[in-house]
Amino acid sequence: MLLLHRQIGPDPQKQFPVPGNQKLQFIKPSITRKNIIAGEYSYYDSKHGESFEDQVLYHYEAIGELEIRWWDWDVEEIHQNLEFIIKGEIERLKRHRRS
């Protein structure tokens, strides 16, 4: 018996799942930044056809944060260094960890 896999629903690999509609788009196929993660069927309904990624304004890449892993610190240590964590002052956080 031969079973064929048939997809039900829109193809998540296509950026625009609805033919003729350039406003409704799946997010994942259009992402170019490493710091944006989206699920297979996450979608964005734009007003003027702009991409989802163009609308992400304040999500900066975690440069150095993965090395420091401040989220694994105890609560008191995070509290003492919160200002530097928020500002992304990685070098200052590295110095703190060494002392």
Q: Which residue has the tokens 């996450």?
A: 42
Average pLDDT over residues 48-57: 87
- When pLDDT is cut at 50, 70 and 90, the band that residue 67 belongs to is low
- pLDDT tens per residue across span 1-45: 566 667 788 999 999 999 999 999 999 999 998 778 889 999 999
- pLDDT tens per residue across span 12-22: 999 999 999 99
Distances in whole angstroms, Cα of residue 83 to Cα of each of 67, 69, 88: 18, 16, 9
The pLDDT of residue 2? 65
The verdict on pTM exceeding 0.85 is no
How many other C-beta atoms are found inside a 10 Å radius of the C-beta of residue 76? 8
